[in-house]
Each structure stands twice: as structure tokens, then as C-alpha cells.
């Protein structure tokens, strides 16, 4: 089990851009079709933009046509936390970083094999590390 990262609101505001703060800490969503990771296929690892926690391997990324980068599964089951989300009159499953509790996006049961899940993530909540670059957890 990894060490949790707990920062004050002020510390998060200093660490993150306003858009990252809105998504990761206020559970916001970037506009569809605007994320920097749409259409990218670079090998590597996607980590949490807030704390550096490894989240997804590039080989699990696929084009869902939804306007957000999508993945079939997290890098490990304990990399993320699933939370019931009843906002906006819908019932969905929110995906948060297990280390810093940052909002990443949502998971839906309409993905391709092998998992049948679609992890629909906000690009601004992620950073891409090229293949061969080891993730570094931020303090």
C-alpha cells in the first residue's frame, strides 16, 4: 500500500494550474475534444498530474470517440479508487487517484475486451512519461 499524499487547499493551488486544480480538486471536467492526450499513441505510462502516482499503461489506451482519452484498465487495481457519483442527476462511477484522491474521470461498462470497461479520463489530470522513464512520486 502506498503512502497517501494529503495537502492543504493552498498547497494544491500552488502545485497545480487553475485547470488542473478545477478537475483534480473540484471534480471538474475538461471540455470534450480539448485534451492533449486525444489521439496520442506514445508508449509509456500515464501518471496523476497531482502526485505522480502511476495510473495507466499506454498499451491500454484506446480511441473511444467520446472526446476524452480512454483506457481499458488501470496499471494496478490499487492505483485508483472507485466512488459512486450521483451528481447531475446521473449514477456513475467516479475514478480518483488512490494516492492523492484527485478526480481523474469516470469508468463505464461499455469498453472493449478484455475488461469491458472504459476509463474515461481528463487529459489535464494526467501526465505522460515516455517509455523507459520511471515514475517519481511527488511529495
Residues carrying an active site annotation:
120
Measured distance CA(132)–CA(139) in Å, rounded: 22
The Cα angle at residue 90 between residues 84 and 93, in degrees rounded to 5: 30
Measured distance CA(136)–CA(11) in Å, rounded: 19
The grid cell for 24 is: 483534480
Q: Taking a C-beta distance cutoff of 8 angstroms, is the pair 86, 128 a contact?
A: no
Amino acid at each position: 500500500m502506498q503512502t497517501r499524499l494529503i495537502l492543504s487547499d493552498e498547497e494544491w493551488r500552488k502545485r497545480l494550474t487553475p485547470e488542473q486544480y478545477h478537475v483534480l480538486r473540484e471534480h471538474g471536467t475538461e471540455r470534450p475534444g480539448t485534451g492533449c492526450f486525444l489521439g496520442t499513441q506514445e508508449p509509456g505510462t500515464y501518471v496523476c498530474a497531482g502526485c505522480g502516482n502511476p495510473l495507466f499503461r499506454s498499451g491500454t489506451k484506446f480511441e473511444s470517440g467520446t472526446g476524452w482519452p480512454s483506457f481499458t484498465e488501470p496499471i494496478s487495481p490499487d492505483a485508483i479508487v472507485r466512488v459512486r457519483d450521483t451528481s447531475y442527476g446521473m449514477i456513475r462511477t467516479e475514478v480518483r487517484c488512490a494516492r492523492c484522491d484527485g478526480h481523474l474521470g469516470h469508468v463505464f461498462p461499455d469498453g472493449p475486451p478484455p475488461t469491458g470497461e472504459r476509463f474515461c479520463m481528463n487529459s489535464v489530470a494526467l501526465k505522460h512519461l515516455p517509455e523507459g522513464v520511471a515514475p517519481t512520486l511527488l511529495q
